[in-house]
């Protein structure tokens, strides 16, 4: 049985929940910029944002009185969010590594042969 949130912990839950969203977005943004532009210093900042995310998630779990199986769910979410950008990056590299620069995407759609809808641009 989940114990209800104490009224004293309402603002802690509110702000830690907001911090989860902000730190998660910052981690994904810094990770992507680091990989796309080849800037390893941004990867250090991305991991710093992930540390902030982990702290916010653990604070939120404490404020919401998550016990037992819910703690395992929280830890699985943290591990998944750490590893998911790496997997997505490798998936993108793997699917685009055989296309030479300027090659048409799969299906042969290019800007020149795209069918334009009436009234569209």
Given this model, what pLDDT does residue 59 score?
A: 95
Query: What pTM was computed for the model?
Result: 0.73
pLDDT in tens, the chain (121 residues): 667 778 888 899 999 999 999 999 999 999 999 999 999 999 999 999 999 999 999 999 999 988 889 999 999 999 999 999 999 999 988 888 766 666 655 555 555 545 555 665 5
Of 71, 55, 64, 62, give the one whose Cα is nearest residue 19. 55
Distances (CA, A) of 49 to 26, 79, 97, 112: 6, 14, 29, 42
pLDDT, tens digit, 9 for 90 and up, residues 57-80: 999 999 998 888 999 999 999 999
């Amino acid at each position: 049985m989940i114990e209800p949130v104490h009224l004293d912990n309402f603002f802690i839950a509110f702000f830690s929940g907001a911090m989860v969203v902000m730190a998660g977005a910052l981690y994904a943004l810094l990770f992507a910029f680091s990989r796309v532009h080849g800037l390893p210093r941004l990867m250090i900042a991305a991991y710093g944002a992930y540390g902030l995310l982990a702290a916010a998630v653990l604070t939120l779990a404490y404020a919401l009185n998550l016990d037992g199986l819910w703690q395992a769910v929280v830890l699985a979410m943290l591990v998944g969010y750490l590893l998911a950008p790496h997997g997505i990056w490798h998936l993108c590299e793997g699917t685009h590594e055989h296309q030479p620069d300027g090659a048409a995407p799969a299906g042969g759609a290019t800007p020149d042969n795209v069918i334009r809808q009436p009234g569209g641009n």
